[in-house]
Amino acid sequence: MATFAKIGLNSKVITSLSVHNNELLDSNGVEQEVNGITFLTNLTGWSIWVQTSYNGNFRKNHAGIGYTYDEDRDAFIPPKPNAEAILNEETCLWETN
């Protein structure tokens, strides 16, 4: 199963949905994210979806509700836990002292 995050205002994750990997396959049998996005757009009418990874193989972190998708970093970033937290650019996780 592939998981996609539904992206709303301010690039916030609203929810996520799973899609069978077969829906991602192109004519050569290779998984393509765009095919999952097309499937979900047709299913839900919502067009802003970004694939996420449970084990963090890509986009740094698994998307959770309230996370932000940072397009420049191509990463999901959790909500900032407090004003003093500093974003670790490598992991895209917040660090606190």
Q: What is the pLDDT of residue 33?
A: 97
The Cα 87–Cα 14 span in angstroms is: 22
Residues 44-57, mean pLDDT to the nearest whole number: 94
pLDDT in tens, 62-91: 999 999 999 999 999 999 999 999 999 999
pLDDT in tens, 17-40: 999 999 999 999 999 999 999 999
pLDDT at 5 over 90: yes
Q: What is the pLDDT of residue 13?
A: 98
Phi, psi of 70 (to 5 degrees): -95, 105
The domain of 29 spans: 2-95
CB 81 within 8 A of CB 23: no
Q: What is the pLDDT of residue 56?
A: 78
User: How distant, in Å, are the alpha carbons of 4, 7, 47, 58, 97 from that of 44?
Assistant: 12, 13, 8, 24, 42
User: How distant, in Å, are the alpha carbons of 19, 57, 83, 97 from that of 3?
Assistant: 6, 13, 31, 33
Q: What is the pTM of this model?
A: 0.93
Sign of CA dihedral 89, 94, 95, 96: positive
Q: How many domains does the chain have?
A: 1
